Amino acid sequence: MSTPPLDILVMAAGKGTRMKSRHPKVLQRLAGRALLGHVLDVAAQLAPRRVVAITGHGAIEVEAACAGLVSPGAGFDQNFDLKFARQEPQLGTGHAVQQAMPALAEFGGDGLVLVLSGDVPLTQADTLRALVAAAQAVPGGTLALLTVRLPDPAGYGRILRGANGAVQGIVEHKDASAAQRAIDEIYSGIMAVPARLLAPWLARLTCDNAQGEYYLTDIVAMAVHDGLPVVAHCITDAQQVAGVNSPAQLAELERAHQLRQAGALMEQGVRLADPARFELRADARSGQRGQLVCGQDVEIDLGCIFTGSVEVGAGAQIGAYCCIANARIAEGAVIHPFTHIDGEQAGASVGPGALVGPFARLRPGAQLGREVHIGNFVEVKNSTLADGAKANHLAYLGDASVGERVNYGAGSITANYDGANKHRTVIEADAHIGSNCVLVAPVTIGAGGTVGGGSTITKDTPAGVLTVARGKQTSLSASQWQRPRKTPKTLETPAQS
Ligand code: UD1
Ligand code: CA
């Protein structure tokens, strides 16, 4: 039996009233990525022929966001075939699928249709593969429903089974009798069905029910009526089919997702101080997937947030409450608590055995060599620090090339911006920059030279000597200067009229 091509429908027209957000529900973020992005990710893993997103509420915003969600930056193939079908007004899930069918018409009804919800982010590809296989298990295919048993099934459509256990239909909660409401097996909202069977059933849907909607779930009874063996593929992991309706549910699924990621890292040997206080997120700016690659014996203290692509080398330690995005931390480096590293597109890198923080900030293009030290309240942007260079306290290095073993004093800054353009500062090897210096770029500090504390350097300095550029220190004698004294207060007399 040949496998029919897979076409995926993603329902994303609903309003999501309970999110109380200005933005469409399917664009709310889980782990830095829109809910719809997670659904498109799992769709892509199934290598579908076409994906049709059904949009309605906030359709323009949702459709525009999709360009980023399926971009190469998000790991998508350029030829990923995503189309949109507008559903306006929203007359129910059956009506939604009706709107999507024309987008599959050119295939002449030869495909297998998988229906997903844009607000159900944690479904795994293997689960959907099993469902698709179930729909193809009988010759000519059948309708397969993804179901789960819930301790509290209220609100969901219930799976009706006959005496022999065969699926008879789905009854929506609002239409269900008390006896039917006692059924704990529910329909997840996810189904797989051959397009050839689906199309005529859709045409027969009516809105004669408690909500006056066209229920997609009514096709189950039609399939049974047509003599097809409807399959219920029942899974045990309810999180995989959990939808997001409220901020509380979003937070719950976020935590579940993060715990899963933390578990996978610990499985690889990463030492997480507390898996419940670990975050790995996609970078919403670039679409870059949250990806943390760790060497052996990496230790990550609690409260750290990793964003985009981050690599941490063997034996490196990440202190508590660090935010690290788009960066490479080499082996043996130590990132002390509360350090902020964000390489954005350019990336940031920390060399082997380097010490960074606490309270340090590395920005795009910060490249630290071996055993570089960056201390508290030091900011580094678009600058290279060669092996052994140190900037330990309260300093700024922007657009600078810093040589080996340079010592950059507390409170010193590179004045890299003249108000219009940025300029580079070059500090050659073994130079020693005193405290509170201003290096006005473009400028070069010669190798092995010393810059006296408090200097404002506007011209290149020679190698190997002391350069001082500030007012000379003088002391005034008591006859030349006296400290001002408070004038004694006189009693004010009332003004005479
Ligand atoms: C639906 C199922 C129910 C199942 C539940 C699982 C029907 C009739 N009922 O319930 O059996 O237990 O999902 O969550 O299908 N949507 C549209 N257009 C519409 C209506 C909905 O695009 O006109 C989208 C929503 O945005 C959402 C999905 O379809 O992504 C499901 O809609 P929702 O209202 O959450 O499902 P229910 O009708 O409550
Ligand atoms: Ca609903």
Summarised one tens digit per residue, pLDDT across range 196-230 is 999 999 999 999 999 999 999 999 999 999 999 99
Average the pLDDT over 315-322 and give the result.
98
| CA-closest residue to ligand 1 atom 14 | 189
Provide the pLDDT for residue 495: 65
Rounded to the nearest integer, the mean pLDDT of the chain is 96
Establish whether residue 55 lines the binding site of ligand 1, counting it when its CB lies within 6 angstroms of any ligand atom.
no
Is 497 a residue whose pLDDT tops 70? no
Q: Which tens digits make up the pLDDT trace of 46-70?
A: 999 999 999 999 999 999 999 999 9
Distance CA 298, CA 276 (A): 17
Is 143 a residue whose pLDDT tops 90? yes
Q: Which tens digits make up the pLDDT trace of 155-177?
A: 999 999 999 999 999 999 999 99
Report the CATH fold assignment for 6-241: Spore Coat Polysaccharide Biosynthesis Protein SpsA; Chain A (3.90.550)
Q: For 53-57, 327-331, 486-490, which range has the lowest pLDDT when averaged over its residues?
A: 486-490
Torsion of CA 56, 61, 62, 66, to 10 degrees: 150
Distance CA 146, CA 124 (A): 12
Provide the pLDDT for residue 60: 98
Q: Which ligand 1 atom lies nearest to the CA of residue 87?
A: 18
Provide the pLDDT for residue 494: 67
Provide the pLDDT for residue 18: 93
Is 83 a residue whose pLDDT tops 80? yes
Q: Which tens digits make up the pLDDT trace of 233-291?
A: 999 999 999 999 999 999 999 999 999 999 999 999 999 999 999 999 999 999 899 99
pLDDT level of residue 146 (50, 70, 90 thresholds): very high
Is 493 a residue whose pLDDT tops 80? no
Most distant CA atoms of the chain, gap in Å = 115
**How much distance in Å is there from the Cα of 155 to the middle of ligand 2?**
8
| CA-closest residue to ligand 1 atom 20 | 92
Establish whether residue 52 lines the binding site of ligand 1, counting it when its CB lies within 6 angstroms of any ligand atom.
no
Establish whether residue 336 lines the binding site of ligand 1, counting it when its CB lies within 6 angstroms of any ligand atom.
no
Residue of 173, 393, 423, 432 marked catalytic: 393
Provide the pLDDT for residue 21: 94
3-state secondary structure of 294: strand
Class assignment of domain 251-467?
mainly beta
- Asked if residue 89 has a cis previous peptide bond (ω within 30° of 0), the answer is yes
Provide the pLDDT for residue 15: 86
Distance CA 267, CA 144 (A): 34
Is 436 a residue whose pLDDT tops 90? yes
**How much distance in Å is there from the Cα of 92 to the middle of ligand 2?**
9
Provide the pLDDT for residue 73: 85
pLDDT level of residue 491 (50, 70, 90 thresholds): confident
Query: Which residue type does 180 have?
Result: Q
pLDDT level of residue 348 (50, 70, 90 thresholds): very high
Is 1 a residue whose pLDDT tops 60? no
Q: What are phi and psi of 427, to 5 degrees?
A: -115, 110
Average the pLDDT over 70-99 and give the result.
95
**How far is C-alpha 138 from the chain's CA centre?**
40
Q: Which ligand is nearest to the CA of 210?
A: 1
What is the percent of the chain where pLDDT is above 90?
96
**How much distance in Å is there from the Cα of 72 to the middle of ligand 1?**
30
Average the pLDDT over 131-154 and give the result.
97
Residue carrying the six token digits 């010193």: 412
Establish whether residue 118 lines the binding site of ligand 1, counting it when its CB lies within 6 angstroms of any ligand atom.
yes
Torsion of CA 81, 137, 171, 163, to 10 degrees: 180
Asked if 225 is an active-site residue, the reply is no
pLDDT level of residue 2 (50, 70, 90 thresholds): confident
Establish whether residue 185 lines the binding site of ligand 1, counting it when its CB lies within 6 angstroms of any ligand atom.
no
Provide the pLDDT for residue 81: 98
Establish whether residue 214 lines the binding site of ligand 1, counting it when its CB lies within 6 angstroms of any ligand atom.
no
pLDDT level of residue 484 (50, 70, 90 thresholds): very high
Q: Where are the domains of the chain?
A: 6-241, 251-467
**How much distance in Å is there from the Cα of 322 to the middle of ligand 2?**
40
